[in-house]
Amino acid sequence: MLSVIILAGGKGTRLKSIIDNIPKPMASVNKKPFIYYLLKQIDKLNVSRTIVSLGYKSEIIVEYLNNYFQNANIQVTTEEYPLLTGGAIRLALSFANTNDVLIINGDSFFDIDILDFYKFHNQNNSQITIALKEMQNFDRYGEIQVDQSSRIIKFEEKKYCNKGYINAGYILLKRHLLNDFELNTPFSFESDFLEKNIDKLDLFGFIQDKYFVDIGIPEDYHEANNYFKLNFNNL
């Protein structure tokens, strides 16, 4: 059984030409808010609790959840001031109620089998497992390097890369792990925690060649519309 955190506090600054005055996870994709597809993806799991981490214009997402997911076991957390990814995760973790927690970026979708992801996480006795997608010719993401046992050994900064693995926005971690580290809020989960503590963590990458999209820029937002129109009309 898992608790799930969806990080849904983003503004969507780079999508301003498409969406305005709504949180990025509420961007309409195939006539439904993007967060709908994330909630449907985890709906098939044995989820103990879903925590939706909010920030920018949180009331819009709260209203949507109350109208369309009122029967789901959803807990909302709202940042009083920007906490960055790490601070938002730490706040949301205080409401989780399972040993392992799945964290999903509210602007990314990775069409993986989450039960296989969780099985891999447990088989490796991992403290943190990141779902990785191989990409080519990219510069929007930092590259993640793994060894032959799938252990993560290096995080590279964002720069042009011919071919490599990226963080696809799905992470499994032990609920109490952050309590063992001194972390000032706000902090970045990626640069202030993962990258700085890579040698102290049992950190693995779950590599999958599945459909991935990050709706953060207009061209990928439009691509997501096309994908979900073809693949998710029955949800």
Average pLDDT, the chain: 94
| pLDDT at residue 234 in the model | 56
Q: Does residue 159 come out as left (phi exceeding 0), alpha (psi in the -120 to 50 range) or beta?
A: beta
Is 26 part of any domain? yes
Question: What average pLDDT does range 22-35 have in this prediction?
Answer: 94
Q: What percent of the chain has pLDDT over 90?
A: 86
Closest by CA position to 45, among listed 78, 20, 73: 73
Flag whether pLDDT at 233 surpasses 80. Answer: no
Give the span between the Cα atoms of 207 and 146, in whole angstroms. Answer: 10
Tens of pLDDT along 132-177? 999 999 999 999 999 999 999 999 989 999 999 999 999 999 999 9
Is 140 part of any domain? no
> Cα dist. 232→88, 224, 225 in Å?
29, 11, 10
| pLDDT at residue 83 in the model | 94
In sequence order, the 6+-apart residues with CB closer than 8 A to the CB of 118 are: 2, 100, 102, 172
Is 157 part of any domain? no
DSSP symbol at 77 = E
What is the domain-level CATH number for residue 226?
A: 3.90.550.10
Which structural domain, as residue segments, surrounds residue 176? 2-132+167-204+211-231
Closest by CA position to 88, among listed 34, 44, 23, 20: 23
In total, how many domains does the chain have? 1
49 strand-pairing partners: 3
Q: Where are the alpha helices (DSSP H) in the chain?
A: 34-43, 58-68, 84-93, 114-123, 218-231
Helix (H, G, I), strand (E, B) or coil at 201: coil
Bigger pLDDT: 22 or 44?
Answer: 22
Contact between 140 and 184 (Cβ < 8 Å): no
Is 114 part of any domain? yes
Q: What percent of the chain has pLDDT over 70?
A: 99
Bigger pLDDT: 124 or 10?
Answer: 124
* Six token digits for residue 176: 């109490």
Is 193 part of any domain? yes
| pLDDT at residue 235 in the model | 56
Flag whether pLDDT at 20 surpasses 90. Answer: no
Bigger pLDDT: 17 or 170?
Answer: 170
Strands 212-214 and 203-207: unpaired
Is 38 part of any domain? yes
130 strand-pairing partners: 171, 205
Tens of pLDDT along 70-128? 888 899 999 989 999 999 999 999 999 999 999 999 999 999 999 999 999 999 999 99
Is 43 part of any domain? yes
Is 158 part of any domain? no
* Six token digits for residue 102: 């799945």
Q: What pTM was computed for the model?
A: 0.96
